[in-house]
A and B are shown apart, each in its own frame.
Chain A
Amino acid sequence: GQSLEQPSEVTAVEGAIVQINCTYQTSGFYGLSWYQQHDGGAPTFLSYNGLDGLEETGRFSSFLSRSDSYGYLLLQELQMKDSASYFCAVRYNFNKFYFGSGTKLNVKP
């Protein structure tokens, strides 16, 4: 089976940096993705790590360590619009995706 663990809620102030961790136990692991979901909206893709290391996309970065079964999403220069839920998801057995329960990020002024 698959399992993912991520914190349920994180609070940070505008302009700060926040890191959301994700640990996984997965058979047939291919890679780790991150998705953002605003209240009432659909999840949207943020990043994907298939190999170890850091991927950077603007203010967002994502990291993967396959040997540690661990990854994180780093959000820099937080803005109020970053308040949302963030899901890590493992891609496994080539074409399947398993999602964590999500981390609600609250950005305060």
Chain B
Amino acid sequence: DVKVTQSSRYLVKRTGEKVFLECVQDMDHENMFWYRQDPGLGLRLIYFSYDVKMKEKGDIPEGYSVSREKKERFSLILESASTNQTSMYLCASTNTGSSGNTIYFGEGSWLTVV
């Protein structure tokens, strides 16, 4: 079974702190994603990576950056956390091509910024 592991389930950070959310997948998937989920807004794409060191901005990249130094690992960075970044963050991965129709999600990281 594909496993997408997010290192932290629950975090509480102070405004202005730098926050790292780590994600690892074990199925050699090319594509990895970071989504943010808020009530009534669904899942919104923050960043997308289709290869090591490659990234594309999603719909809401402001205030975030990402790093993909190894194929299995995709990190989301909040450079200076703000209260409006309090949310649930979901990491996901897929293959490329026709086998990439299924997105596999991690369990989510609940971030509270105070």
Contacts and interface: CB of A to CB of B under 8 A. Distances in A.
A41 interface: yes
A72 interface: no
A44 to B, nearest CB: 7
Nearest to B42: A101
Contact of B45 (A43, A50, A97): A97
Interface in A57-109: 87, 89, 91, 94-102
Given A8-B40, A43-B90, A98 B101 contact: no
Contact of B35 (A31, A99, A100): A99
Interface residues of B, number: 25
A95 B96 contact: yes
A42 B50 CA distance: 22
Nearest to A40: B108
Contacts, number: 53
A98 B92 CA distance: 13
Interface residues of A, number: 23
Contact of B103 (A31, A45, A94, A100): A45
A91 B101 contact: yes
B22 interface: no
A86 B78 CA distance: 29
Interface string A11-54: 00000000000000000000101010000011111001010000
Contact of A87 (B43, B100, B107): B43
Given A42-B90, A43-B90, A97 B42 contact: no
30 contacts: A31-B101, A33-B101, A33-B102, A33-B103, A35-B103, A41-B107, A42-B90, A42-B105, A42-B106, A42-B108, A43-B90, A45-B102, A45-B103, A50-B101, A89-B43, A89-B103, A91-B101, A95-B48, A95-B94, A95-B96, A95-B100, A96-B45, A97-B94, A97-B103, A98-B59, A99-B44, A100-B42, A101-B41, A101-B42, A102-B42
Interface of A: 8, 31, 33, 35, 41-45, 48, 50, 87, 89, 91, 94-102
